Amino acid sequence: MGEKKESLILSVSSENETKIVVNKSIFIGIIRKVENRKEVFKFKEEVMIKYPNATHYVLAYKIGEEEFCDDDGEPARTSGFPILKCILGNNLNNTCIIVVRYFGGILLGTGGLVKAYTESAKEVIASSDIVKYIRCKKNYIIIFI
């Protein structure tokens, strides 16, 4: 008897963060495993407290079949969507990435924004421990890969 597809997911074993600088703007990527929207909102609140006065708090997540991204004031589809594409491209689920941006005074343009947010998301994913979670009723079995 085979496993149900939705019972096996890839996500991060623990929260992780990375920082990149692009034309004096600081981009801090933070990744966390989440189970529901309530956890996403709590995560964003915690990030906003940890990194106050940032110019943008851009987020994207995939939880089960639900996908969401928010540009937080950046031009449409230049920030949240590229982050979501990185989540989906790595087959991650129950995963949220928030990229905090401190504006450095130099406009990056739409192409530059897409590149910077994509790079930030890729960096934080690449430096994270990705594990397989197998859903067993209400618990998980974690398999380190």
51, 17 contact by CB (below 8 A): no
Residue-wise pLDDT tens digits, 15-74: 999 999 999 999 999 999 999 999 999 999 999 999 999 999 999 999 999 999 999 999
Per the structure, the complete domain to which residue 89 belongs is given by: 15-129
Amino acid at 138: K
Percentage of the chain exceeding pLDDT 70 = 92
CATH of residue 34's domain is: 3.30.230.30
CA 63 – CA 133 distance, rounded (Å)? 13
Instruction: Please report whether residue 106 resides in a domain.
Output: yes
The answer on pLDDT for 142 being more than 70 is yes
Q: What residues form DSSP beta bridges with 139?
A: 136
Q: How many domains does the chain have?
A: 1
Instruction: Please report whether residue 2 resides in a domain.
Output: no
Instruction: Please report whether residue 100 resides in a domain.
Output: yes
Instruction: Please report whether residue 38 resides in a domain.
Output: yes
100, 21 contact by CB (below 8 A): no
Instruction: Please report whether residue 110 resides in a domain.
Output: yes
130, 145 contact by CB (below 8 A): yes
43, 63 contact by CB (below 8 A): no
Instruction: Please report whether residue 8 resides in a domain.
Output: no
